[in-house]
Structure 1
Amino acid sequence: MYQTFKNTLLEKGFTQYTVALSGGVDSVVLLHLAKRLHDEFNHIELKAVHVNHGLSDNASDWQTFCENLCQSWNIPFEASEVSLHLSPRQSLEAIARDARYQAIKYSMLPNSCLLVGQHLDDQVETFFIRLKRGAGLLGLGAIKHESVNDMGITVVRPLLAVSRNDIEHYATNFALEHITDESNADDKFDRNYLRNHVLPQLNARFEGFSRTVFRVTQLLQSQQRLLDEYIAEDAKQCIAEDRLILDKLSSFSRVRIENLIRFWLQSQQLQFPSQKVLNQIREQGLHAKADAQVQINCGDFAVCRYQAALYVVYPKAVPKDITALTESNSAGCKFKVIEAAHGIRLPTEDEMVNVRFNIGSEKLTLKKRNCTKSVNTWLKEAGIPPWQRPHFAGIFYNDKLVQVIGLGIDKSAYSENGVLWIEKE
């Protein structure tokens, strides 16, 4: 086991490793293997981190155990306590995992990767959990040997091909003490039910069943990598500046379009939508009328269509207007004034400077075009998507619009030696 562990890590090229230490048998064995690597290669640095979720009455004892273990092995140690806030329809396992990674991120050695003790049995359990949820090819591939999570942490799982039995035999051979989490016996958690009841029966009935499932996950991951290569070629043609260009998709099959949409969202670190939402994105995005205002809500974001392209749009409140702008109320203003050879005149003493938003119906006579149109019309002609238009700021002298920042100035306020409002850097 150590030789496999050593070869795996030396191939990674890291010289610093942070070990996630829960105190359970898998993480203790992982830390022991890492210690052996450090003892053999002194230039390798190690650190162990423990996250106390506070979910068990024994949580403090587990933290003390991990601290004492690291002290006895002369390994730097750091513990963090986190509070979990469970939202509706969120799993405790997912919330705890996210909180754990968030805490670990700030405790890791600089430029290190994170070693976690997930093993073959974890992989098999994850496969069945995702099978129950109706996952596709990507989901059924389950856990990867190496990945980069949403927080930018490189996570390496050197024990992923090792069974729980082999890990426990290793711990026995080296007389390694570890803690036992009593929640592992609670069958209300799907993973525990599979671990304690379903998989033992399948392995008893079918010799080598778990290893066969593990091989299946590796095949699925390999097929997904191949599919990703094809999708990446489609993406070169169809994705530009985070937009999905629709006219490029006319000759694509339905499944090819859906895979491209998933790739497009994943490239922006967004969760895959459900099949129902995916169907909406495909149908409305490709087949709605050209002038239709298409918006498909996907939880924290929406997918919107504009000028034959799909955009990811995040909810964003329109800024509040600022009336009678002065030094005392300009602290939150994100715009500033600069002198300009071709700008707007300075306000007179009886004119107040106001900053207003959501000004689409206001009329503006653009100096450079010498005609009058509504601000919305000007913005539409400039190719500004509808959801961005309310955020354009208008500079008013009293109730007269003199400039739309980022669009242009009104002819009536033009001055060859004036000022311009611009966005602060």
Structure 2
Amino acid sequence: MINKENNILINFDSNQYFSHLHKVIMKINILSTQSIQHLLLKKILSIISEYNQFLLAYSGGLDSTVLLDILSKIKIKKFFQLRAVYINHKINPSSDDWSLHCKEQCEYRDIPFKNISINIKQNMTKNIDEAILRSARYNALSSDLQLREVLLTAHHQNDQAETLMLALKRGSGPTGLSAMATNNQLYNHRILRPLLYCKKKDIIKYAKQFKLKWINDDSNMNTRFDRNFLRLNVFPLLENRWPNFITTVSRSAQLCREQEELLDELLAETLTTLTKNGSLYIQPLYTMSVPRRKYILRHWIAKYGNIFPSSKQLEILWKEVILSRCDAKPVISLGSKKIKKEIRRFRNYLYLLSTKNKISQELISWNNKSCYCFLPDNIGILFHMPINNFESIQPKEKKSIFPLCSVSPLESIVRAPKINENIFIRFGTVQGLLKIFGRKHRCYLKKIWKEFNIPPWERPRIPLLFYNNSFIAAIGIFTINDEEFLDKQSSKWRFYWIRNHYNS
């Protein structure tokens, strides 16, 4: 049936589906269950039948053209919607002509079409990077996906074998060797690969039988690219020796994936238990076996940082960060230029953070007439509002995990500035002993940060509120105790700090 709220086919009656499919099959003269059409249709439907809105990544090449043609023949409006997108990298001089070809093929099949052009900031004539192109392509496709749409790509069994061989070249473990999945997550969407269990020769056979028109990209013959090298130079030799090599390699990838899924199922609860607000509690790791510990660390980083660390990086993380002395400030950097992260340890927790710029020590003058103040380095916005009736103020409790993990706005209640007082925001240190609300004794700011469990890397990024040269509050953390603040008759303001958690 169809879930009306999500508009996705759920627990669909296969008999009803295939009865409708049978009518389509009859129309395209598929009379034999052994025909290439029936074979491909059956494999495709086994993967897409749980969804009903699709976006096809259509390059105009052989594989995506075959997928487009098959989908167009089973495109029953009652069941699902289909549209196609061509990603124009603007690299090949013929790219615009290819876009026009894709548009014509979609119009012929009554399928909505869209061209998306992207610009790669790189010298593409000599040093084209496959990873950069792939990342840009998927980012563009993901951005164009509508709320309930599922992305379809035309990867097939030979592509799967290539992916596994490249993973072997990199020395990947079971996660890398599991290669591509038929159904996986792409950011906040699903990505399906309906042809992943289909052989390349079957796809070619279908295209020739139905006299399809497709694009031949001359760059596919450039063996400088790793995939082309495998496809043109390596696999023909292997298949000549072992005709079923592609199929068996694909099976190995599937077995690795099943193993990873089983590990996910067995250890997911452990990872969830050790994780709080995205940080990882490391005390139980000391007594775990090495494989179990590595799994927890690897999947924590993958889940919260979208980065897949190498064995070498995990070893460095363990020895130089987790096992470093208690008073150390260890850090390890991970990722690439596009995704740059760092891991820090604080009080038996690991934190996966985006790399941050140093905040300027200069004063930020806040116009008293303005309710808003934008903080540097995109760390958030401050705003204030008057409090008409004085509210009781309770001392802030110490947190076991530092309060900046909160996704809610942080707030402080302070006395309103006097007419001759201007508002300033500073970052960094404050000299001298401080007496904060709720405490009997004065102490230095460094000790206050420790009492509130504020990690060292967050301290320089906390906005400090000043009226002229008088320190008033660390917004959202504590307030300075003075007589005017305690006077219930004096007017009060509430300051809010809305943090930008996309950069936290």
Output the CA distance in 2 between the equivalents of 1:347 and 1:78.
56
1:368 aligns with 2:465: no
* Change in 2 beyond 3 A, CA 1:6/1:128: closer
1:296 aligns with 2:332: yes
Deviation at 1:109, TM superposition (A): 5.1
Output the CA distance in 2 between the equivalents of 1:379 and 1:185.
60
* Change in 2 beyond 3 A, CA 1:378/1:101: same
Deviation at 1:257, TM superposition (A): 1.0
Matched to 1:66, the amino acid is C
Partner residue in 2 for 1:130: 167
Partner residue in 1 for 2:5: none
Q: How does 1:18-417 map to 2 (within 5 A)?
A: 18-39=55-76, 42-86=78-122, 92-108=129-145, 110-149=147-186, 151-299=187-335, 300-317=340-357, 318=359, 321-323=363-365, 325-327=367-369, 331-332=373-374, 334-339=382-387, 340-341=390-391, 344-361=414-431, 363-412=433-482, 413-414=484-485, 415-416=487-488, 417=490
Output the CA distance in 2 between the equivalents of 1:384 and 1:213.
50
Output the CA distance in 2 between the equivalents of 1:186 and 1:107.
30
Output the CA distance in 2 between the equivalents of 1:116 and 1:268.
26
Helix, strand or coil: the match of 2:49? helix
TM-score, normalised to structure 2's length?
Answer: 0.78
CA-to-aligned-CA distance 1:263-320 (integer Å, 9 cap, x gap): 1111114212232221121123332111211111224111111111111122334376
Structure 2 gap segments, 5+ residues each: 1-38, 375-380, 394-412, 499-504
1:423 aligns with 2:499: no
Output the CA distance in 2 between the equivalents of 1:91 and 1:361.
53
Partner residue in 1 for 2:501: none
CA-to-aligned-CA distance 1:129-162 (integer Å, 9 cap, x gap): 111111111001111111112x323111111111
CA-to-aligned-CA distance 1:301-347 (integer Å, 9 cap, x gap): 11111111111122334376323643379553623143244554444
CA-to-aligned-CA distance 1:331-379 (integer Å, 9 cap, x gap): 5362314324455444444433322111354532113112111222112
Matched to 1:334, the amino acid is L
Output the CA distance in 1 between the equivalents of 2:463 and 2:147.
43
Identity among equivalent positions (%) equals 29
* Change in 2 beyond 3 A, CA 1:410/1:44: closer
CA-to-aligned-CA distance 1:10-40 (integer Å, 9 cap, x gap): 532x12221111111100000011011115x
Output the CA distance in 2 between the equivalents of 1:6 and 1:329.
57
Deviation at 1:217, TM superposition (A): 0.7
* Change in 2 beyond 3 A, CA 1:6/1:223: closer
* Change in 2 beyond 3 A, CA 1:349/1:112: closer
Residues 47 and 182, structure 2, Cα contact 8 Å, conserved in 1: no
Output the CA distance in 1 between the equivalents of 2:466 and 2:123.
44
Helix, strand or coil: the match of 2:343? strand
* Change in 2 beyond 3 A, CA 1:272/1:362: farther
Root mean square deviation of aligned Cα: 2.3
Partner residue in 1 for 2:49: 11
Output the CA distance in 2 between the equivalents of 1:197 and 1:243.
46
Helix, strand or coil: the match of 1:154? strand
Output the CA distance in 2 between the equivalents of 1:173 and 1:411.
84
Range that drifts further, 389-398 or 353-362: 353-362
The total of aligned residue pairs comes to 421
Matched to 2:45, the amino acid is N
Helix, strand or coil: the match of 2:141? helix
Output the CA distance in 2 between the equivalents of 1:42 and 1:48.
19
* Change in 2 beyond 3 A, CA 1:214/1:26: same
* Change in 2 beyond 3 A, CA 1:359/1:418: farther
Helix, strand or coil: the match of 1:43? coil
* Change in 2 beyond 3 A, CA 1:347/1:9: closer
Residues 38 and 45, structure 1, Cα contact 8 Å, conserved in 2: yes
Helix, strand or coil: the match of 2:74? helix
Helix, strand or coil: the match of 1:56? coil
Residues 43 and 198, structure 2, Cα contact 8 Å, conserved in 1: no
CA-to-aligned-CA distance 1:203-227 (integer Å, 9 cap, x gap): 0011211111111111111111112
Partner residue in 1 for 2:13: none
Output the CA distance in 2 between the equivalents of 1:79 and 1:347.
56
Residues 6 and 37, structure 1, Cα contact 8 Å, conserved in 2: no
Residues 371 and 383, structure 2, Cα contact 8 Å, conserved in 1: no
Matched to 1:387, the amino acid is W
Residues 364 and 401, structure 1, Cα contact 8 Å, conserved in 2: no
Residues 44 and 195, structure 2, Cα contact 8 Å, conserved in 1: no
Output the CA distance in 1 between the equivalents of 2:123 and 2:92.
20
Helix, strand or coil: the match of 2:196? coil
Range that drifts further, 239-248 or 353-362: 353-362
Residues 48 and 194, structure 2, Cα contact 8 Å, conserved in 1: no
Residues 49 and 77, structure 1, Cα contact 8 Å, conserved in 2: yes
Residues 47 and 109, structure 1, Cα contact 8 Å, conserved in 2: no
Output the CA distance in 1 between the equivalents of 2:195 and 2:80.
19
